[in-house]
Amino acid sequence: MKTIHSLFTTVLSSSMLALFLLSCQSNTSTMENLNVPVENKQANTFNTIETEKLFDLSLTPSERDTMQPDLQEQLEAYQALHKYSIGNEIPPALQFNPIPLGFEIPNNQEKIDWGLEEEVAVPENIKDLAFYPVHKLAVLIKNQQITSEQLTQIYLERLKKYGDTLQCVITLTEDLALQQARKADTEIKAGKYRGALHGIPYGAKDLLAVEGFKTTWGAMPYKEQQINETATVVQKLEEAGAVLVAKLTLGALAWGDVWYGGTTKNPWNLEEGSSGSSAGSAAATSAGLVAFAIGTETYGSIVSPSTRCRVSGLRPTYGRVSRYGAMALSWSMDKIGPICRNAKDCALVFEVIRGMDEKDPTLFEADFNYKPDIDLSKLKIGYFKSLFETDYPNKENDRQSIEVLRKLGADLQSIEMPNQFPSEAFSLILISEAAAAFDELTRSNKDDLMVRQIRYAWPNAFRAARFIPAVEYIQANRVRFQLIQAMHQRFKEFDVIVAPSFGGSQLFYTNLSGHPCVVVPNGEDSEGNSSSLTFLGNYFDEATILGVAEKYQEATDFDEQKPPLMESK
């Protein structure tokens, strides 16, 4: 499986030497001790010969001499910036726009018929409700067959029982949850029903701020951090009547499943981590500790843990869900989406959290015309045939999934990803933005407090990223513009594209381009590991891929399976 550390393989490794050469004044004896050739030994000059090699440059002696005053001025500019405090919440003035040339954003909202059941039976063992999907729980609460407080108590009990085992909980919001649940019951009893999420308990990834609670970002340097605001996503869920029962773990600063309290576990196999970075969101949903959870994705952070924990996740189009109040990692790649038991639940949650927000200027107004009765035979569906034909652990499960889709009426047509781009260069975008987001952490040396200090971890990546030239960051984004046009030209010919979740470059490229995807479980691979299938869609067309994913799940039972170790008792 392709992991995020592959993004960092192009980062320059001789960072500390480069820092010394670039930012300190030339000192003859020091340079000679380092066996660094010194061309200009005059005072107040920089030695750049070795540094040039790190940046793939070759300058003449005259060119080096001429630029010396400019390097000094640039250093002074850096120092001025470093004296100015820039919080993680401050975005850059330059905003990423994924909209391809000639693309018109669909904005004709229709009334959605969710197709919810009129009646749902309460199980003999009420604790079994922990594994009911949202769309069934909603009916039970609306019909007042159960109360939100009853359901909330069930989840709180399970969070207390299994939270430490899975290491998936950072903060239990018990008092708030009971208050919200009781309010929901009072409103519903009075006939004020807010919708399908009214009274439904959920968990939020702990990079979303909630006023009155810690927001730790999963990282030791921020363990006691409180942000006196509430993320827009959390506010929208509260307005819909949802009940926040816990703030859930994430890999420190949104990488992996290791946080300051340990490693979040996969409920299906406690010997392995839940993957990341939405580690706690996926694990808690899978284990029946919450009805659904909110995750985020920059490069695989919804897809990967959803796969590992056998739940369903939606990564929306970039610019669909407000990121206000969320930790910034990459301003041009971060996306917020739901992690649920199935695609229908993802649609219900997405309907609530999507939409405009004056506090987030990167959003687009677009419709969401979800249709649960979608007819696959009337859609043009593509699939990455060459990726499905390669040898990989999940090949047999994916083959069977393709056959299920064909039996449902899908006429799958071959499509290929564009492959003419220098993939390695794209890693510069994510790393540069992440290093900027946590610049103060690096320069203060508080990055030493981070648990993971290996090469493929944020502290090292942030340091190395300081040596990515601004010119190369911009060049990579120019190539990204071409990638977006090429991806759109391929994708617009189809309504849905089916892909191996980790096949080829699709996960990386679609995160760069901002395309939406739905990931659903499809069993175990040949090595006994959890596996999944991905449905990719066109910009702002989450409705179609969710509808197709729902049809697939109606024909299979992978979304109904529960981790044996977490059965309700």
| pLDDT tens digits in sequence order for the chain, 569 residues long | 333 334 333 333 233 333 333 433 333 333 333 233 333 434 456 778 888 898 999 999 999 999 999 989 999 999 999 999 999 999 999 999 999 999 999 999 999 999 999 999 999 999 999 999 999 999 999 999 999 999 999 999 999 999 999 999 999 999 999 999 999 999 999 999 999 999 999 999 999 999 999 999 999 999 999 999 999 999 999 999 999 999 999 999 999 999 999 999 999 999 999 999 999 999 999 999 999 999 999 999 999 999 999 999 999 999 999 999 999 999 999 999 999 999 999 999 999 999 999 999 999 999 999 999 999 999 999 999 999 999 999 999 999 999 999 999 999 999 999 999 999 999 999 999 999 999 999 999 999 999 999 999 999 999 999 999 999 999 999 999 999 999 999 999 999 999 999 999 999 999 999 999 999 999 998 888 999 999 999 999 999 999 999 999 999 999 999 999 887 66
Give the chain's largest Cα–Cα span. 85
Q: pLDDT tens, 187-241?
A: 999 999 999 999 999 999 999 999 999 999 999 999 999 999 999 999 999 999 9
Q: CATH 3.90.1300.10 occupies which residues in the chain? A: 126-357+371-419+478-566
Q: Which of 497, 558, 535 is nearest to 309 (CA)?
A: 558
CATH homologous superfamily of 126-357+371-419+478-566 equals: Amidase signature (AS) domain (3.90.1300.10)
Give the whole-angstrom CA distance, residue 289 versus residue 63.
Answer: 63
DSSP string across 127-192: GGGGGS-HHHHHHHHHTTSS-HHHHHHHHHHHHHHHHHHHT-EEEE-HHHHHHHHHHHHHHHHTT-
Give the whole-angstrom CA distance, residue 316 versus residue 471.
Answer: 30
Give the whole-angstrom CA distance, residue 223 versus residue 213.
Answer: 11
Task: Calculate helix-pair angle for 134-142, 174-189, nearest 10 degrees.
Answer: 50
Q: What phi, psi does 122 have (nearest 5°)?
A: -80, 130
Burial class (CB in 10 A: 0-12, 13-18, 19+), 146: buried
Tokens describing residue 240? 């819909």
Q: What is the pLDDT of residue 526?
A: 80
Q: What is the pLDDT of residue 568?
A: 66
Q: Which of 208, 285, 289 is nearest to 247 (CA)?
A: 208
Q: pLDDT tens, 334-392?
A: 999 999 999 999 999 999 999 999 999 999 999 999 999 999 999 999 999 999 999 99
Q: Would the pTM of this model clear 0.85, i.e. be above it?
A: yes
440-445 own/partner pairs: CB under 8 Å, 24+ apart? 440/85, 440/86, 441/221, 442/466, 443/82
Query: Please, are residues 210 and 231 in contact by the beta-carbon 8 Å criterion?
Result: yes
Q: Looking at the DSSP assignment, which residues form a beta bridge with residue 500?
A: 533
Pairing between strand 381-383 and 169-172? unpaired
Cis preceding-peptide flag for 277 (omega within 30 of 0): yes
Q: What would the 3-class secondary structure string for 374-435 be?
A: CCHHHCCEEECHHHHHCCCCCHHHHHHHHHHHHHCCCCEEECCCCCCCCHHHHHHHHHHHHH
